[in-house]
Chains A and B, each alone.
Chain A
Amino acid sequence: MTALERSSPPPGLPRRGAALGRVVPPVGVLLVAAAAGLLVGSLRSAVFAQLTVQGLALGAVYGSLALALVLVYRATGVINFAQGELAMATTYVAYQLIQWGLTYWQAFFATLAAAFVLGMVLEMALVRPVQHRSTIAAVIVTVGLFVLTDGVVTWIWGGAFKYMPSPFGTAIYHVGGVAIARLYLGMLAVVLVSVLLVWALFQFTKLGLGMRAAALRPAEAALVGVRVDWMLAIGWGLAAVLGAVAGLMAEPSQYVLEPTLMQPILVYAFAAAVLGGLESPAGAVVGGLALGVSLNLIVQYVPEVTSELQLPFAFAVLLAVLLLKPAGLFGRSAARRV
């Protein structure tokens, strides 16, 4: 597009984001092939099938947090390094609510509401002032938030392990010789439903359209009457909700609740988000699932890669994507911003 055909934002208002993620046909082929491979492997080996299911469940968690990161990035151009810690903090809130007598699902929804409010407040208080400053200022603020959140959680609840009731029980289904824990199905279901709801919000509602417009071109969005500030705050709120879902679903898989719960998951979420393309919501989710399954299978079938190497593996993936295809599998914009 020529310069004439691209709008020039008035001075002082930033132009945000780029293309919506779209499935590039070669990627689609890749995914279908991968899915076919997983299916075949699962049919041939019970262990493979179990690892796949578990990988998908864990991957869903990574994808949920990755989606939160992408939402925040698209809306405000900031990578929130504290997204994982916030997710962890909201999980502790759920824990406390349960201690105070709420049922798991009551606490679950109450926590989502609390997360939404928290996300909005943080955007208004912390992000707005630094949004237009240098990247590093924004990064540092979220880093400070990381430390602050950690501090607040350990201050209130201490660092000892806490136990939360599992929302899905310990039931195990046996399907054709394959043992599938209800936990994993539950994790997958909850995350996918949440993601679908958020997607529907963005695609089909006026609010969602306003949010997309505000993220894409804030100046032009304001001209049609979109309250850009509120849209960004709501974006952060939704991201916090997705993070809370990730935290709540991560906890049962680790069996205990403790402050470092989400730290490795944040790294996996980064890798997933980058893999999918930092500006692609669909990519983040697919990236998460792909990463979850890959990690599980590789640790099982490649002897040199033991479980301690999962994080370095995720780092390797992250680096490889950034160096080879910075836009990620689904993204369109270049990683290099000059």
Chain B
Amino acid sequence: MRERVVTLGSLLAVGAALAALPFALSDYNLGLAAQVGIFFVAVLGLNILTGYTGQISIGHGAFMAIGGYTTAILSRDHHTNLLLTMVAAFALCFLLGLLVGLPALRLSGVYLALATFAFAVSVPQLPLKWSRFLGGRDGVQTSQTVSHPWLYGVAWTASALLFLLAWLVLRGRVGRAFRAVRDSEIAAVASGIELPVYKTLAFGISAAYAGVAGSLFVLATNGYAQPSEFGVALSLQLLVGAAVAGLGSLWGTLAGAAFVGLLPNVSSSVPVIGSEHGQDVVFGAAVVLVMLLLPDGVAGALARLRRLA
């Protein structure tokens, strides 16, 4: 996140709004707001990968799955404190992300997109195979469930912390290296940046974020970690969220998270098309339209507006 973009004003405004929301929203809507928070974390992470180092991943749903299952299994088997499981998810997914980032080094553009897509489709199959440990089709459930206010609070606190972390990471040398990689890999190598290190690091970080989001996601669905929750659609949603968000803007990331967190739920109330079945139509159409009209996402649009002003 560029320092210019994240003004103190914006932060305070968002912070104040977030603090006020629990008092203004119904329990159901608070749950929705929590979901936006969950997607915020995931989109933030994915943006680091896609936006900053230019590696397209349609597989981060798999990392959410891994994070979610980590929480569920630790809770089910060891009754671990839920917050601790989230830390565990973060760590585990970071390591796995680094591992995945290694072969990803040799792929680029559509090939990486293809590989990560296949990854996203395959990972949810694994619980079906090893059903004793991973719960099979019915999944794994945590030993305790949480309320919407709890979820809201934790999701947005995590968002704030991880946003801060991202900001710290990206303003320093790492961030500069990331940006250099995105703008021109050749130039980056020429200026001595070790591509493999930074590209793999980006994968690790984004996976870790997705893992935390996955933990929260499982908690948001009554503590169930099931293969059906983590299908390809989730990875697609994340990518869409990152694309809508655009790069380097707090508001953009919020917009992206809101887009994928709220739109599918809210679109069922759109007249005529809206219905339990119609919401995908609205969402899909919205995605297509947004990409056609705002190719650089909300962040890009905001930047353009700012230039005009």
Contact = CB atoms under 8 A, between A and B. Distances in A.
> A143, A150, A155, A326: which has the most chain B beta carbons within 10 Å?
A143
A140 B240 contact: yes
A27 interface: no
B284 A150 contact: yes
Contact of B236 (A146, A149, A323): A146
Interface in A281-338: 306, 308-309, 311-312, 314-315, 318-319, 322-323, 326, 335-338
Contacts of B121: 263-264, 267, 311, 315
B180 to A, nearest CB: 14
Contacts of B108: 335-338
A306 B292 contact: no
Given A129-B292, A140-B243, A338-B186, A148 B280 contact: yes
Instruction: Give the interface residue-count category, chain B.
Output: 35 or more
Among B50, B107, B117, B273, max chain A CB count under 10 A is at B117
A148 B284 contact: yes
B278 A335 contact: no
A151 B283 CA distance: 8
B291 A149 contact: no
Interface stretch (A56-64, A130-138, A214-222): A130-138
Interface residues of A, number: 51
Contacts of A73: 110
A274 B292 CA distance: 28
A311 B110 contact: no
B2 interface: no
A274 B112 CA distance: 12
A94 to B, nearest CB: 20
Nearest to A326: B111
A47 interface: no
B103 A140 contact: no
Contacts of B106: 322-323, 326, 336
Contacts of B111: 274, 278, 322, 326, 335
Given A148-B284, A267-B121, A311-B122, A143 B236 contact: yes
B236 to A, nearest CB: 5
